[in-house]
């Protein structure tokens, strides 16, 4: 039987259609979650990227920053066997891996009943993971690394797709280093700043009313574990990287290492899966420089968060300035943060003195018009201020010699 055509050589073929369909489902999950959680778009995207790539992610932040709520909603939108647990230093292994099978024990066999427990789950969330005992952490390492669980004399294949964890703080105990290292992505979730306070109050009031009255949205699965496994089974088609992309990646990794951020060779290889998954999220079969945003989230301590942003952001921003049609802003579904980020990029481009072609200029005018329409659909003091900024930019463009009347 002939092998299936490569997506790059068969435009419009079945592989591309599958990617487009999967991307639409993935983006719908992100849209629904983004409508509920303010200023968490990048965290949500990274959750889905992790699931597509079959990797793991830890969210670090103070209490009350929606860490567990985001994973909980993700689990409702993805049709998969789900297990969650809040860990403490008193948590016993049987609470995660299942109770001892008494009948088997009487026959001299020490096994656990793992049905509906962590070893049988496809999506797992462990809150305060670094507070658990060494016995639990050692068992978890085997599950995370090998997707296997030793159930007595039998080694069970674990169907785990992704394990999400949360912690109020970054572990500073060397004994926790092995576990922390297994999370390819480390994401910071912090309290919102004053810029978002008004919208936070509006969303918070609506949420509390929905909880009290029972009139909240009924969430139904949009994506399934089977969809994710189908993507992963075809992942060889996406793990193809242009030479210029790898050359730029090499430069970024060695610059990151030179600044004291440890990135092992193993992690450097596994990160390629996340770049490919980011492309799939967008419906692409090939990576581009915008996918390097993932590297903002490979820090080992909080002091490195800003440092990584300073290294990675110029590369990502430059790509979207040169390829505005590939920006991630999506019309009326964008949040104020998406719109503000896009507006800042356009302002920087238009005021930088860079000579733009007619096509580039008209593209930016189109982007500004889309932003203006999206802002008009979400009336607030913030959107009103941003609308004035858009009008000022439009005036600047039309006052130029090329577009002046």
pLDDT digits (tens, 9 = 90+) for 110-164: 889 999 999 999 999 999 999 999 889 999 999 999 999 999 889 999 999 999 9
Q: Rounded to whole angstroms, how far apart are CA atoms 337 and 341?
A: 6
Q: What does the mean pLDDT of the chain come to?
A: 86
Flag whether 391 is in a domain: yes
Does 343 map to a domain? yes
Residue 146 lies in a domain: no
Q: Find the helix packing angle between 243-258 and 303-322, rounded to 10°.
A: 150
Whose CA is closest to 323, among 375, 287, 372, 271?
287
pLDDT the model gives residue 328: 61
pLDDT tens-digit profile of 21-78? 888 899 899 989 988 888 898 999 999 999 999 999 999 999 999 999 999 999 999 9
Q: What is the DSSP string of 215-262?
A: -S------EEHHHHHHHHHTGGGT----HHHHHHHHHHHHHHHHTT--
Alpha carbon distance 237, 300 (integer Å): 31
SS3 helix, strand, coil % of the chain, rounded to 5? 60, 10, 30
Q: What is the pTM assigned to this prediction?
A: 0.78
93: helix, strand or coil: helix
334 inside domain: yes
Q: What pLDDT is stored for residue 335 in this prediction?
A: 66
Which two structure tokens, joined as six digits, stand for 312?
């990675």
372 within domain boundaries: yes
What average pLDDT score do residues 314-338 get?
A: 70
User: Is the pLDDT confidence value at 9 over 50?
Assistant: no
Q: What is the CA radius of gyration of the chain?
A: 23
The domain tally of the chain equals 1
The total number of residues shown for the chain amounts to 405
Residue 162 phi, psi dihedral angles, 5° rounding: -145, 145
Give 83-147 as a 3 state SS string.
EEEECCCCCCHHHHHCCECHHHHHCCCCCECCCCCHHHCCEEEEECHHHCCHHHHHHHHHHHHHC
- Distance in angstroms between the alpha carbons of the first and the last residue of the chain: 64
Q: What's residue 360's pLDDT?
A: 67
| Range(s) of the domain holding residue 351 | 326-399
Task: Report in angstroms the alpha-carbon separations of 365 from 200, 358, 377.
Answer: 31, 10, 19
Nearest to 46 by CA among 79, 71, 16: 71
- With respect to residue 191, please indicate whether it lies within any of the assigned structural domains: no
Percent of the chain with pLDDT over 70: 88
pLDDT of residue 401: 44
Tally Cβ neighbours within 10 Å of residue 245: 18
* CA–CA separation, 333 and 199 (whole Å): 16
DSSP E strands in 44-116: the ranges are 57-60, 78-79, 82-86
* Within-domain flag for 286: no
Residue 383 in any domain: the answer is yes
pLDDT at 14 over 50: no
Provide the angle, in degrees to the nearest 10, between the axes of the packed helices 303-322 and 336-351: 60
Helix (H, G, I), strand (E, B) or coil at 98: coil
Q: Extract the tokens encoding 56.
A: 């793991």
Helix, coil or strand: residue 340:
helix
- Over residues 363-378, the pLDDT tens digits come to 677 678 778 877 776 6
Which residue has 């994710």 as its token pair? 228
**Does residue 356 or residue 76 have the better pLDDT?**
76
Say if residue 72 is exposed, middle or buried (CB neighbours under 10 Å; 0-12, 13-18, 19+): middle
């Amino acid at each position: 039987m002939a092998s299936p055509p490569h997506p790059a050589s068969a435009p419009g073929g079945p592989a591309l259609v599958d990617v487009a369909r999967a991307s639409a489902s993935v983006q719908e999950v992100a849209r629904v979650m983004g409508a509920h959680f303010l200023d968490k778009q990048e965290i949500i995207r990274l959750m889905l990227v992790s699931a597509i790539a079959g990797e793991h992610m830890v969210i670090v932040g103070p209490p009350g920053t929606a860490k567990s709520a985001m994973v909980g909603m993700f689990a409702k939108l993805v049709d998969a066997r789900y297990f969650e647990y809040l860990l403490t230093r008193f948590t016993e292994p049987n609470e995660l891996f299942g109770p001892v099978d008494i009948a088997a024990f009487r026959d001299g066999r020490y096994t656990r009943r793992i049905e509906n427990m962590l070893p049988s789950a496809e999506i797992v969330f462990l809150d305060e993971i670094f507070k658990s005992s060494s016995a639990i952490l050692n068992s978890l390492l085997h599950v995370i690394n090998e997707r296997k669980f030793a159930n007595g004399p039998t080694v069970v294949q674990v169907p785990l797709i992704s394990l999400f964890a949360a912690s109020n703080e970054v572990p500073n105990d060397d004994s926790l280093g092995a576990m922390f290292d297994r999370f390819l992505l480390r994401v910071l979730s912090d309290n919102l700043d004053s810029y978002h306070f008004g919208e936070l109050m509006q969303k918070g009031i609506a949420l509390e009313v929905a909880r009290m009255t029972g009139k909240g949205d009924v969430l139904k699965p949009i994506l399934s574990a089977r969809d994710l496994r189908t993507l992963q089974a075809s992942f060889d088609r996406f793990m193809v990287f242009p030479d210029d992309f790898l050359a730029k990646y090499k430069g970024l990794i060695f610059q990151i290492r030179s600044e004291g951020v440890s990135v092992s060779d193993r992690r450097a290889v596994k990160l390629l899966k996340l770049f490919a998954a980011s492309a799939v999220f967008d419906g692409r079969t090939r990576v581009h420089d915008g996918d390097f945003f993932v590297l903002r989230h490979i820090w080992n301590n909080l002091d490195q968060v800003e440092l990584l942003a300073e290294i990675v952001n110029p590369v990502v921003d430059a790509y979207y300035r040169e390829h505005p049609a590939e920006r991630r802003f999506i019309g009326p579904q964008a949040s104020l943060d998406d719109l503000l980020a896009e507006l800042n990029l356009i302002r920087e481009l238009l005021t930088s003195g860079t000579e733009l072609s007619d096509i580039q200029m008209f593209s930016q005018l189109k982007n500004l018009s889309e932003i203006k329409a999206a802002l008009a659909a979400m009336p607030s003091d913030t959107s009103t201020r941003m609308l004035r900024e858009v009008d000022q930019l439009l005036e600047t463009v039309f006052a130029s010699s090329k577009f002046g009347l």
